[in-house]
Amino acid sequence: MTQDTEDTVRRSIGARRNPASQEAILDAAEAVLRELGIAGFSIEAVARRAKAGKPTIYRWWPHRTGLMLDVYKRFKTARAFPDTGSLRGDLIGFLDNQLVGFWKNSLCGTVYRAVIAEAQTDAGAAEALQAYQAERKAVARQMVERARARGEVPEDADATLIIDLVVSYAWHQLLLGHLEEASTKTEAVVDTVLRGVPGYRA
């Protein structure tokens, strides 16, 4: 094999995300976050911990926010969206298990708050966060779609707005650091949102 061919193969391998290597890097990233916190988190620190080349990590994750978000997603996707048989029950479970309760007193809340903060000044971070949010909200809207099928809400109920109102409350509490208090108000929040849905029937 010529040197040119070797270089081509090496670049090709680096361009693809090898699942085992990806998991090792994400494990290392999680360890760095737990040990050093947000302030000590960097691609360089993760590369040292994972014994991986920085160019490969940067190729797969162009900025640290994307890497932090992928660590966060590993925890988040392990939790299924609720399906309780009622929209009220689903939204309360959504707030309790996917948002406020998930973030409270955990690394996940710290990481997600940092991702939101970095998205305010970094275009790449904002794009990664928006893509993740779009994916999650598409799944969350299924709770409202099921409610439509059960006749709890009319066909023209705005699923995106309902989910946005619930998520916005959770984000506000996360950014203010009031998750403990917020966790006691999930039922009241959901009831308030649903009272504003024309035609809602419990």
* pTM for this model (two decimals): 0.84
Mean residue pLDDT across the chain: 89
CA distance 35 to 124: 25
Check pLDDT > 70 for residue 5. no
**Exposed, middle or buried by CB within 10 Å (0-12, 13-18, 19+), for 195?**
exposed
Report which of 140, 160, 147 is spatially closest to residue 98, judged by C-alpha positions.
Answer: 140
pLDDT band at 2; cut points 50, 70, 90: very low
Paired tokens of 192: 């308030």
Could you give the dihedral angle defined by the CA atoms of residues 191, 172, 139 and 23, in that order, rounded to the nearest 10 degrees?
-140
pLDDT in tens, 149-193: 999 999 999 999 999 999 999 999 999 999 999 999 999 999 999
**What pLDDT sits at residue 78?**
73
Q: How far apart are CA 202 and CA 197, in angstroms?
A: 11
What is the C-alpha separation between 27 and 23, in angstroms, rounded?
Answer: 6
Distance CA 75, CA 115 (A): 15
pLDDT tens per residue across span 125-141: 999 999 999 999 999 99
Going along the chain from its start, the domains and CATH numbers come out as 3-61 (1.10.10.60), 74-195 (1.10.357.10)
80 sits in the region (left: phi over 0; alpha: psi -120 to 50; else beta) called beta
**CA–CA separation, 180 and 149 (whole Å):** 34
Q: Quick one: pLDDT at residue 24?
A: 94
Tell me the per-residue pLDDT of 32-45, one tens digit each, with 9 for 90 and over: 999 999 999 999 99
User: Measured in Å, how far apart are the chain's first and last C-alpha atoms?
Assistant: 70
Asked if 132 contacts 69 with a C-beta cutoff of 8 angstroms, the reply is: yes
Contact 171, 147 (CB under 8 A): no
| pLDDT band per the 50, 70, 90 thresholds, residue 1 | very low
Q: Encode pLDDT of 101-129 as tens digits.
A: 999 988 999 999 999 999 999 999 999 99
Residues 6-63: pLDDT tens digits? 343 334 334 456 888 899 999 999 999 999 999 999 999 999 999 999 999 999 998 8
